[in-house]
Structure 1
Amino acid sequence: MSTTLWRCGLRHTLRHPWQFGLSLLGVALGVAVVVAVDLSNESARRAFVLSAEAVAGKTTHRIVGKSTGLDESIYVGLRLADLSARLAPVVAGYVAVPSQPGRTLQLLGLDPFAEAPFRPHLAVTGVRQRADWVRALLTEPGTVLMSRALAGELNLKPDDVFAVQTGGRRHELRLAALLEPTERLQQRALADLVVAALATVQEVLGRVGRLSRIDVVVSDDDQLQQLRTLIPDGVSLVDAGGRSRSAASITDAFNLNLTMLSLLALLVGLFLVYNTVTFSVIQRRTLLGTLRALGVTRGQLFTLVVGEAAVVGFVGALLGLVLGFLLAQVLVNLVAQTINDLYFTLQVRNVSLLPASLAKGMLLGVGGSFLSAMIPAAEAARVTPRAALIRSQVEASVRGALPAAALTGLGLAVLGLILIVVPGSGLGLGFAG
């Protein structure tokens, strides 16, 4: 297509900047909401997975009881049975930090002598240092370990004392040593984790004599079957990955709800693009007819209108990516708070910038704008020199289409009501209605 046509389209845009700005704003806001929701959901999911991996380590199965946990005598009995499977007792819970309102830490109680096969990333560098912190955890009440990054956030250094609160009770803990994870993912996983001896965590959480679970590492089915025959009634042996899968399935509906609402925002933005492009075609109807008389083909006019919309979509999508990342910084806290209130405790420290989410935003912005312009572009391509001079033809065609449009709208309204009242377990029918 010749540059003359592009200059013609650019001149119209410069003469009507508000129309261009409205389309740009619609696409940018729609893409921003989609990207922000996508980044927030994925960041929350990754935070949970990293937290679960930090706590689980190489655990293959877990022995769990009822909501009150397990009596620690169960662990003693299993250890005395001389099992080939490896066992490690765990007490876990959450505590608040009074000095930082709203900050929650996960408190993990472990047996240092049973931990080597389970969580090797919970290690302090240096043989002598390891001996020192093991002795401190076992002999000094209230001593804990945490990552260097977390200690920096809390303004703590080794031997400093800090307060935590749970169940309306305040406890003082002392930082014995710093954990030194070598991998970046491990560093992120330990961002809100505080490690202590079993007795310390039992006392802080008010669970003296109780365990949250017993972690297990088995290498074959024989070890698994042997363990099943020894655990008492009322106690279950479950797969270690089951909790992560269960948590993911619990939040699936919540994530789908947010995603559908974000797509609705994008749909509103694309509707603005459709209306703006349609209005632009009507404004330039005489010009388009003149261009046809000068030899411009229908295909060239179609390409011009669709190309203008694609440019709007591309620029709007770029702005939307930037706005979406900024919006995600705020939205991720709201998503985490909602998950905390409705499902389980979750701390999200940062937003993950995911290439897939950015590509999705670009595709929806550009592709949606392209599709929104198809009908107006087809209308522009149908303009003939003679029809362009007859202003009443547009009004006549609109009046002729009113009955069909009214029937279509009524039919869609009835279909929407039917979809809303139809019983179903999924959200798809509700959003379709």
Structure 2
Amino acid sequence: MSYLEVEVEEPPVATDGVWLQCIECGANVAPFDDVVYRCPDCGGLLEARYADYPTFDEFEGRGVWRYRAALPVDEGETIQEGDTPLYTVPSIEDEVGVADLRVKHEGMNPTGSFKDRGMTVGVKVAERLGVDRLACASTGNTSAALAAYGARANREVLVLLPAGKVAAGKVAQASLHGARILEVDGNFDACLDIVAELADMGEVYLLNSINPFRLEGQKTIGLEILEQSRDATGSFPDRIVLPVGNAGNTAALYKAFRELVAAGAMDEDEVPKLTGVQAEGAAPMVEAVESGADEVRRWDDVETIATAIRIGNPVNAPKALPGIRETGGTAVAVSDDEITAAQRALAEDGIGVEPASAASVAGLRKLRERGDIGADEQVVCLTTGHLLKDPDAAAAAGSEPEPVPNATEGVLDVL
């Protein structure tokens, strides 16, 4: 897999062994001189590059900043993000029929989603660049995380949300942390178009996942999965199944694995198969994988109960598609009913997740039924957000409360 090779020769534009590189034309860009999101030469997406790539024995401490040797900046504002649990799920493992199944529950981060990992790094870079106003478009989780970390760093935060399309719990988080919330009469992709224009005008510092530094924080999910799996089972997982919205996690995990291969910390044949799951009503990545297309077609009309992945134009598709293909992974679309059933199944194993998180388990079920995942595989499903992120969806999926009289006898009558 040639795409796993990572250039390590340091160019003149590097600062402290860090630089940005275009994934399309290979141009190298100074990382901290100016605010930049795309290649100034061709407009391609950028990735952080390093003069040295660490091995596992160079990681120390806890949480995201345990992996500071693999990150572009020193420790920034932290709310103890990372170190999320890798749960066993015995009932789902038995039902699905794989050799080993575990769930990496990113909903246990401080604001309830994986986004905290990217924000602790991204906000630190913003401080280094000297910017004061941070901004994002969001389906909810990004806004909650940015609001919290921006507040911690005493920065102004602006979030653009699709009006009426964000779960109330997520809006409440951003509001309480003091963000200015603008509700746009459009979908998430329209919000991202607007905030990207504001960023190009220099009005805000954009911390959506088009920002290459935010993905550096998110790649620590992959590093933790590898370390936790090795400690629990003695080996790395064969496959990681994850929900796909803007495709940032797919891109970030693949980058983490490429860097470990470059460092000699793992072999190419040890890299887990990255397997993406989208909702049927918002599945442009699945369409591209199944058709063999090199580019992802934008879906303008998207709808799903899984609001966190209700995205029709995944900005990180150019990074994520090679990640799926080069690791031998695949992608699958699941229905809202399948997502809700998976959410209930996880709850029966004591794990509370929002609908988008449950998509990973729903996808695993479907791929096993189709024979695309083997019974001998060691699998990790990534769950990205906590149940309380979307309490209305949780209530709809759960059991109905039963009214009883204000008396012990009344309770006994229904037992």
Shorter-normalised TM range = under 0.3
Higher RCO structure, 1 or 2 (CA under 8 Å, sep 6+): 1
| TM-score (norm. length: structure 2) | 0.20
* Larger helix proportion of the pair: 1
- Please, what TM-score do these two structures have when normalized by structure 1? 0.19
